[in-house]
Structure 1
Amino acid sequence: MADIEPYENALDTIPGAHPYPRSSRYHDAEIGVHRMADGTEVRYTKRRLLPPIEDVTDDETAPHTVSSGERPDLLAQRYLGDPGQWWQIADANPVLDPQELTQEAGRVIAIPHAGGFPGAGAGARYV
């Protein structure tokens, strides 16, 4: 995982600060509030947008040729320093199931550079 300020981890432990830690794929997702008929408020995470794959440039990712037995979490550990960041690799490739990334030996997939996949913009897709 990329180096972060020690104070940033402390911010993740403050109750109500944000429901997801900074390393989560949902950390930057907008939190919505639904008001029930009785006035009760229910918080929920709105859909997360991904940038369109065709807008990703070669300087934002590096190619990786999949070998037999590889898994998204192992690739995340190797390239991003944290197996929990497998979702960044999934976001950089047009797959619905992250296991599709490594099912076929010889497949070339995009690995985002450490620091994360670029943010969503116009034309983003939902996940």
Structure 2
Amino acid sequence: MTNPAANLPHLPGTAGTPPPGYPPDSRYAQTHNATKTLADGRTVTYLRRRFIPDTAALPTQAFHDMSAVDRLDTVAATYYGDSQLWWRIADANAISDPDELLHAGRRVRITAPQDSGGVPL
């Protein structure tokens, strides 16, 4: 898997630092902070862009056919045991707007998370 962020030029005056305060199951856990010094001398800290991972290499754990009452948090709770992992379902289906998956009859791919070695959580 390639990391698209690796090919981006670094802004002058930026440095990557581990993000503080994000739990290990957060989608931002591996996204670093950066800083930029502005022309007026102020330093601004920001969260670097998070790219959707290459999910083609992840094993498909299941397919879920969405119903009219399904929500991504409840689907995540069903498959991962944690409703806060809804973003993994969005990533697995390579979408940036989770609402795209909330249509009755939509087949949603559920993958094993990258950090689990292919074993469902």
Instruction: Name structure 2 gaps, 5 residues minimum.
Output: 1-17, 116-121
Residues 43, 26 of structure 1: alpha-carbon distance in 2 compared, 3 angstrom cutoff: same
2:40 counterpart of 1:64: no
User: Hey, what's the Cα distance between the residues in 1 that align with 2:106 and 2:19?
Assistant: 40
Instruction: Name structure 1 gaps, 5 residues minimum.
Output: 1-15, 119-127
Say if 2:52 and 2:94, in contact at 8 Å, map to a contact too: no
Identity %: 38
Residues 52, 76 of structure 1: alpha-carbon distance in 2 compared, 3 angstrom cutoff: same
TM-score, length-scaled by structure 2: 0.67
1:29 alignment partner, SS class: coil
2:106 counterpart of 1:107: yes
Residues 1-43 of structure 1, C-alpha deviations (whole Å, 9 max, x = no match): xxxxxxxxxxxxxxx9714222211110121111122433211
Equivalence for 2:22: 20
Say if 1:29 and 1:45, in contact at 8 Å, map to a contact too: yes
Say if 2:19 and 2:32, in contact at 8 Å, map to a contact too: no
TM-score, length-scaled by structure 1: 0.65
Deviating beyond 4 angstroms after TM superposition, the runs of 4 or more aligned structure 1 residues are: none
Q: How many residues align?
A: 98
